[in-house]
Structure 1
Amino acid sequence: MEIMLSKILTQIHLQEDKISSTMMLTADEAYQMTLFLNEMLYIIKDKVLQNSFANEKQEIDFFKNIKPQILGKLIYYNKVFRIETSCPVSNGKIYKSYYGNLLKILKSEYKERICNEDFYRYYRAGRTDRDHKYFRLGQVNYHDGLKSGVFEIDLSFSTYYDNKKAYIIANELLYNYLLTKINLDENPDAILKNSESTNDVFWTNSKNALIELVYALYASGAISHGKIGIRKMSLMFQILFRVPLVDLHHAFHRMKTRTGSRTTFLDQLKISLEEYMDKEL
Structure 2
Amino acid sequence: MKYSKQIIASLERNIQNLPCNPENPFEKIELGISYCQKSLKKLRHRILAHGFPSPEVECQFFKHIKPKALGYLIYFLYLSDFEMSKPKTTSKKLKSFTQQYITDYQNYFLEHKEFYLYLMRNRIDRDCEYFLRSQGVVKFHSDALPYCMDNEFSTSHDFIAAKIFAHNLLIEHLNKELILSHNSLSTENRTPYNIPWTGTKTDLIELMYALHETGAINNGNTEIKELADFFQLVFKIDLGEYYRTYIEIRTRKINPTKFLDRMKNNLLTRITEADN
2:50 alignment partner in structure 1: 51
Alignment of 1:43-192 (within 5 A): 43-89=42-88, 92-111=91-110, 113-115=111-113, 118-142=114-138, 145-153=139-147, 154-182=150-178, 186-187=179-180
- Label 1:56 to 1:73 Cα distance change in 2 as closer, same or farther (>3 A): same
- Label 1:98 to 1:78 Cα distance change in 2 as closer, same or farther (>3 A): same
1:12 alignment partner in structure 2: 11
Alignment of 1:23-34 (within 5 A): 23-25=20-22, 26-34=25-33
Q: Name the aligned partner's letter for residue 24 of structure 1.
A: N
TM-score by length of 1: 0.59
Aligned-pair CA distance for 1:108 = 3.8
Aligned-pair CA distance for 1:91 = 5.6
1:203 alignment partner in structure 2: none
- Label 1:172 to 1:77 Cα distance change in 2 as closer, same or farther (>3 A): same
Aligned-pair CA distance for 1:52 = 1.1
Q: Name the aligned partner's letter for residue 149 of structure 1.
A: D
Q: Name the aligned partner's letter for residue 55 of structure 2.
A: E
* Counterpart secondary structure, 1:138: helix
TM-score by length of 2: 0.60
In terms of Rg, which structure is larger? 2
- State yes or no: 1:40 paired with 2:36: no
Identity %: 25
- Label 1:150 to 1:47 Cα distance change in 2 as closer, same or farther (>3 A): same
| RMSD of equivalent CA atoms | 2.5
Alignment of 1:228-243 (within 5 A): 228-229=237-238
| Cα shift readout 1:84-131 (whole Å, capped 9, x = no counterpart) | 1222317622221221222233344443x222xx32232222111111
| Cα shift readout 1:183-217 (whole Å, capped 9, x = no counterpart) | xxx21x665xxxxxxxxxxxxxxxxxxxxxxxxxx
Aligned-pair CA distance for 1:178 = 2.1
- Contact 2:109-2:116 at 8 Å conserved across structures: no
| Partner Cα distance (1:149, 1:95) in 2 | 29
- Label 1:230 to 1:107 Cα distance change in 2 as closer, same or farther (>3 A): closer
Aligned-pair CA distance for 1:148 = 4.4
| Cα shift readout 1:128-151 (whole Å, capped 9, x = no counterpart) | 111122111110134xx4424324
Structure 1 unaligned segments of length 5 or more: list them.
192-226, 233-281
* Counterpart secondary structure, 2:17: helix
Count of equivalent residues: 185
| Partner Cα distance (1:152, 1:4) in 2 | 24
- Contact 2:62-2:158 at 8 Å conserved across structures: yes
- More relative contact order, 1 or 2 (CA 8 Å, 6+ apart): 1
- Contact 2:67-2:165 at 8 Å conserved across structures: yes
| Partner Cα distance (2:62, 2:112) in 1 | 19
Aligned-pair CA distance for 1:62 = 0.5
Aligned-pair CA distance for 1:80 = 0.8
- Contact 1:27-1:85 at 8 Å conserved across structures: no
- Contact 2:48-2:152 at 8 Å conserved across structures: yes
Q: Name the aligned partner's letter for residue 143 of structure 2.
A: G
- Contact 2:106-2:167 at 8 Å conserved across structures: no
Q: Name the aligned partner's letter for residue 36 of structure 1.
A: Y
- Label 1:96 to 1:107 Cα distance change in 2 as closer, same or farther (>3 A): same
| Partner Cα distance (2:160, 2:40) in 1 | 16
* Counterpart secondary structure, 1:128: coil
